[in-house]
Amino acid sequence: MRKHFILSTRTIVSKRNVTQSFGNDNTIIVPMAVLDKIKIKYVDPPNPNTERGKIAQEVLDYIESFDLEQLQKGVKQANGSILRVTTNYSGVELPKEVKETELDRLDTRILQTCKGIREEVPEEEPVILVSKDGLLRMKAKMVGVKAQTFRDELLPEISEQYTGRMTIQVSNEVIEKFNKNGKILLSEAFSDEQLQEVYENMFVQMNGIYREEIGRVEQGYIVPLVFGKTTPYGVIPKNNGQRFMIEALTMDEKRAPLVIIKGPAGTAKTFMSLAVGLQLVEEENKYPQNILISRSPTETGEKIGYLPGDEMEKIAPYLRGITDNLQHLHPKDDDKINFPDIKNKKGSSKPKFSEKPQFEDGKSLWTFGYIRAEAIGFIRGRSICDTYIIIDEAQNLTANEIKTIITRVGTGTKLVIIGDPAQIDRPEVTERDNGLSYASERLKGQPTCWQITLTDDESVRSELAKIASTIL
């Protein structure tokens, strides 16, 4: 049975060749109003260099390759589906309640197309609006048309997303062999069914009858943690989740250039990432360009650009969570105003961070060069080398934005992406299509990507905070 899919603007630019993603026996309908919006929003300067701008231009070029008269009737695509561009539904009357609440002229034209197509095709053939706008989907149903989001790009539910860890029950013999040999074959620890879900760099907790051991997956073995007993910047890990974090964060950037950390609030994701970063930069003289922090705001980079002040002043309100963590790592000490310059191994004359003054306004945490901050939107078009990068609140990024960030990583750089998919503040993304989860799912098992998801019982916040996050 033929289905008729009407595509919205954001659906079309969300993926390459999206018009061929709906089966070979269906009709794909693109209102001319949507093409107008694509050109204005994603193609006209300064947008062509963005990922969506490139996709948008490809869509327009593809559609332009067909004769307009043919498009209005329907042209067959390579996958067998029919592509139509519609222009003739401006006279369709919409229900009064829809028109009264309608603020976007484009939405009106899309809804007119939906209703017009519904009236002209056989009743048994479904007409479906594909849109990432929940309100528009609701209005489509009011005019008698089914609606859905673009499910081709949806990720599993949070509970089913990749965690980067696994807890297994093993015999005492397995524990003993692991301790004796310093490693153990995956097949000796996991069942055949469990092996289906085992990926490279996955962290493992092996529970025996009398004791437990922790390790990670490496080239067919479970091996011990390299940094499991370290205390970066004097921070003592409180649970296995934090030990797993330390392992991934401390591992050399050649082996672990990308670390993805997910988990609820209070699991010390940001705190531990900063502690390891300070340990590597200050104490071990790694990453000559030091620590770069970017915290995803709910506003887009373009909107931030219009805020008053310089770059640091624009993004300062979004960095208070970072500053709070740094104050815990570096309590204020007014006695250290006159600090000496200390030469490090690379000949830098920067003062040792632990000997810098910690003023009440927290500015000294940023102004001495060990830590700097940038807005997400300002990272585009760069190649960042020799830097320890932390991207916080990454659940508020889109898949395209996270791709842009990861592709900016240059030589000698370690990228740490942090967030909680259950705490999304941006309406454009959801638990199943945000950039954090997207990167996690797409990169699981890649040898250069290390991941760990912290659990609720690994939170170090107060009991009140835990109860509130669960109930409220």
pLDDT in tens, 250-260: 999 999 999 99
Q: What's the pLDDT at 354? A: 45
What is d(CA 180, CA 228) in angstroms, rounded to the nearest whole number?
A: 18
| Helix count and strand count (H, E) for the chain | 19, 17
Q: What's the pLDDT at 302? A: 44
Are 106 and 182 contained in the same domain? Answer: no
Confidence of residue 388 (pLDDT cuts 50, 70, 90): very high
Report percent pLDDT > 90 for the chain.
44
Structural domain contains residue 160: yes
Structural domain contains residue 230: no
Could you say which of 95, 123, 153 is where a domain stops? Answer: 153
| Mean local confidence (pLDDT), 400-405 | 86
| 191 phi, psi to nearest 5 deg | -75, 165
362 has a pLDDT exceeding 60:
no
- pLDDT (tens digit per residue) in 126-161: 999 999 888 888 889 888 999 988 766 567 788 889
Q: What's the pLDDT at 46? A: 57
Q: What's the pLDDT at 219? A: 95
What is d(CA 420, CA 159) in angstroms, rounded to the nearest whole number?
A: 12
Most confident region among 21-30, 275-284, 364-373, 424-433 by mean pLDDT: 275-284
Q: What's the pLDDT at 297? A: 59
Can you give the residue range of the structural domain that contains 304?
238-471
**Tokens 């309406």 map to which residue?**
427
Are 247 and 147 contained in the same domain? Answer: no
What is d(CA 257, CA 424) in angstroms, rounded to the nearest whole number?
A: 26
Total of domains in the chain: 3
Confidence of residue 330 (pLDDT cuts 50, 70, 90): low
**Tokens 């705490």 map to which residue?**
423
Are 111 and 174 contained in the same domain? Answer: no
Confidence of residue 339 (pLDDT cuts 50, 70, 90): very low
Burial degree of 15 (CB within 10 A; 0-12, 13-18, 19+): middle
What is d(CA 110, CA 415) in angstroms, rounded to the nearest whole number?
A: 41
The amino acid at 391: I
Burial degree of 372 (CB within 10 A; 0-12, 13-18, 19+): middle
Residues ≥6 apart with Cβ < 8 Å to 378: 301, 311
Contact 38, 9 (CB under 8 A): yes
Q: For residues 445 and 341, which has the higher predicted lDDT (pLDDT)?
A: 445
25 has a pLDDT exceeding 90:
no
Instruction: Specify the CATH number for the domain of residue 91.
Output: 3.40.50.1010
**What are the structure tokens assigned to 365, written together?**
């945490």
Confidence of residue 469 (pLDDT cuts 50, 70, 90): low
Structural domain contains residue 229: no
- Give the SS3 label for residue 284: coil
- pLDDT (tens digit per residue) in 160-219: 899 999 999 999 999 999 999 999 999 999 999 999 999 999 999 999 998 999 999 999
pTM of the predicted model, to two decimals?
A: 0.67
What is d(CA 11, CA 365) in angstroms, rounded to the nearest whole number?
A: 42
Contact 452, 165 (CB under 8 A): yes
Are 322 and 457 contained in the same domain? Answer: yes
Are 301 and 383 contained in the same domain? Answer: yes
Contact 250, 232 (CB under 8 A): yes
Residue 65 β-bridge partners = none
What is the per-residue DSSP string for 333-390?
-GGGSSPPP---TT---PPPGGGS---TT-THHHHTSSEEE--GGGGTT--B-S-EEE
In total, the chain counts a number of residues equal to 472
